[in-house]
């Protein structure tokens, strides 16, 4: 089938997603497909301000609203604006999901229009920030935010700063802990077998396991369902965050690409 993703036509292909090699669980292959990304709600053309100096870096986003940047034609990330190259990204990632970044800042021109965006990158090591030319990204507003408390084994969903859902989760074991930090949703995948080890869906985030360095795709972390409901509330996973399947479905409906995910100890 064909779906409209942030203004461009993209074919959603069936793909082999090795979630077992993504820090998530059993050593099996799971047939999965990419889920649709939302249309952008707005694309800020300028930073509201009385005055801007060329090259100013402004923070954007808050506890109520975040920004995601869709790279319709791919993008190049730099350490500093026009500095050393950090990484290159195609229009889609290895799982055929449209490339998206969490946008945390903007470098403006004297007329307050953006020249560069400061973005979170889905690369190792965790927490890397880079700069992407403003013309490479299409921005959209994101009202949801997810916070995971590892100690309490609790996930909380916020909508424009208000709590809309709380749930008990399973987290990484002591040998394969869930990495802490500030991340974002960078892909949404639906297994063909929705009764399997990942339940009805997997919400991929821009985090990687710090210990499963030899796994396929580098050991990316996801929030997903489970076929082991008895594991919920325990520290048993390979780093991923497990939810009861019914709860995962609810979170999946609001955790669009670019949604901030904060994981704290």
- pLDDT averaged over every residue in the chain: 86
The C-alpha atoms of residue 8 and residue 31 are separated, in whole angstroms, by 25
Q: Looking at 52, 73, 160, 224, which residue is catalytic? A: 224
CB 102 within 8 A of CB 118: no
Spatial neighbors of 50 by CB under 8 A, at least 6 apart, are none
Place of tokens 């297994």: 191
First to last CA, the chain: 41
Higher pLDDT, 219 or 160: 160
Q: What is the pTM of this model?
A: 0.85
Judged by DSSP in three states, 217 sits in helix
Backbone angles phi, psi at 29, to 5 degrees: -95, 145
- Element (DSSP H or E) covering residue 245: helix 245-252
Q: Looking at 24, 52, 234, 240, which residue is catalytic? A: 240
Judged by DSSP in three states, 218 sits in helix
Of 196, 206, 249, 189, residue with least CA distance to 17? 189
Lowest average pLDDT, out of 48-52, 128-132, 195-199, 238-242, goes to: 48-52
The C-alpha atoms of residue 92 and residue 183 are separated, in whole angstroms, by 19
The C-alpha atoms of residue 93 and residue 176 are separated, in whole angstroms, by 25
Token digits for 53?
A: 């100096």
Q: Is 234 a catalytic residue?
A: no
The CA–CA distances, whole Å, from 207 to 66, 100, 151, 260 equal: 18, 14, 18, 12
Does the structure show a pLDDT above 50 at 6?
no
Higher pLDDT, 96 or 214: 96
Burial of 59 (0-12, 13-18, 19+ CB in 10 A): exposed
The model's pLDDT over 55-109, given as tens digits with 9 standing for 90+, comes to 999 999 999 999 999 999 999 999 999 999 999 999 999 999 999 999 999 999 9
Which pLDDT does position 35 carry in this prediction? Answer: 73
Q: Is 240 a catalytic residue?
A: yes
Higher pLDDT, 9 or 129: 129
């Amino acid at each position: 089938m064909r779906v409209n993703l942030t203004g461009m036509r993209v074919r959603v292909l069936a793909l082999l997603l090795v979630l077992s090699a993504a820090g998530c669980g059993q050593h099996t292959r799971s047939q999965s497909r990419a889920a649709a990304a939302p249309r952008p709600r707005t694309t800020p053309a300028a930073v509201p301000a009385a005055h801007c100096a060329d090259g100013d870096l402004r923070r954007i986003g808050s506890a109520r609203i975040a920004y995601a940047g869709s790279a319709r034609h791919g993008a190049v990330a730099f350490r500093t604006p026009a500095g050393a190259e950090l990484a290159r990204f195609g229009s889609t990632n290895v799982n055929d999901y449209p490339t998206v970044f969490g946008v945390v800042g903007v470098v403006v021109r004297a007329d307050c229009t953006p020249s560069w965006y400061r973005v979170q990158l889905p690369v190792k090591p965790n927490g890397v920030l880079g700069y992407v030319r403003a013309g490479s990204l299409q921005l959209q507003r994101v009202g949801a935010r997810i916070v995971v408390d590892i100690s309490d084994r609790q996930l909380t969903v916020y909508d424009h700063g208000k709590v809309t859902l709380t749930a008990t989760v399973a987290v990484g074991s002591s040998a394969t802990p869930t990495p802490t930090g500030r991340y974002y949703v960078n892909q949404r995948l639906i297994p063909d077998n929705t009764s399997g080890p990942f339940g009805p869906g997997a919400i991929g985030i821009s985090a990687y396991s710090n210990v499963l360095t030899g796994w396929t795709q580098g050991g990316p972390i996801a929030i997903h369902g489970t076929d082991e409901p008895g594991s919920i509330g325990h520290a048993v996973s390979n780093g991923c965050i497990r939810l009861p399947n019914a709860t995962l479905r609810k979170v999946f409906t609001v955790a669009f690409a670019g949604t901030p995910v904060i994981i704290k100890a």
